Chains A and B, each alone.
Chain A
Amino acid sequence: QQQVKQSPQSLIVQKGGISIINCAYENTAFDYFPWYQQFPGKGPALLIAIRPDVSEKKEGRFTISFNKSAKQFSLHIMDSQPGDSATYFCAASMGSNYQLIWGAGTKLIIKP
């Protein structure tokens, strides 16, 4: 019940296309859902995060869509660029709990 399941494991998208990465969770007590971006040789960096009181959050080309009833959330990258090629992790936590439950990661490759 503590797991966060992330898919796909890897994704190849053409430049200019939309990249979509999905995550699903079981624990309804989760109330914070961040996405992290990791480049090779670097640590994960917070990209965007959402709380369950909204169904969508947009920051530039990055959008989180949240479906509370389905217990799913997804990251959409519009107009994908080669510089977006990285590994993306979803995560979840509850309340003031520091313990982030991480997805397994998605390696995204944007083809020029």
Chain B
Amino acid sequence: DAGVIQSPRHEVTEMGQEVTLRCKPISGHNSLFWYRQTMMRGLELLIYFNNNVPIDDSGMPEDRFSAKMPNASFSTLKIQPSEPRDSAVYFCASSFGVDQPQHFGDGTRLSIL
């Protein structure tokens, strides 16, 4: 079975540029989560979708961050404009139901110079 697929795996860009991270959840899963992981703050939930609808975006740091899920098999997390403090590993996870185990992708390591 294909797991959660994230792209790109690594992204290095300059401050001020737009960054788009992509996620393909596991087929059949109807819940999707975006996380950010840093040494200082650990794993933070940014946003949660259920059936393609954003349910909770209270973890999104600020207006520079936005996320979309146009269909059940694709989601994006966009940062515009990017800042050095956005450097982190961003994970996407999906689950079959809100209270079922979350399956994580391998993440995107983002570096903003």
Chain A contact residues, CB within 8 Å of chain B: 32, 34, 41-46, 49, 89, 93, 95-100, 102, 104-105
Contact = CB atoms under 8 A, between A and B. Distances in A.
A43 B105 contact: yes
A41 B99 CA distance: 26
Contact of A98 (B4, B91, B98): B98
A89 B55 CA distance: 25
Interface of B: 4, 31, 33, 42-43, 45, 48, 50, 55-56, 91, 93, 95, 98-99, 101-107
A43 B42 contact: no
B99 A44 contact: no
Majority secondary structure, A binding face: loop
B99 A89 contact: no
A105 B42 contact: yes
Contact of A102 (B4, B42, B101): B42
A99 B102 contact: no
Contacts of A45: 103-104
15 contacts: A32-B99, A43-B91, A43-B105, A44-B43, A44-B104, A45-B103, A96-B98, A97-B98, A98-B31, A98-B56, A98-B95, A98-B99, A99-B48, A100-B45, A102-B43
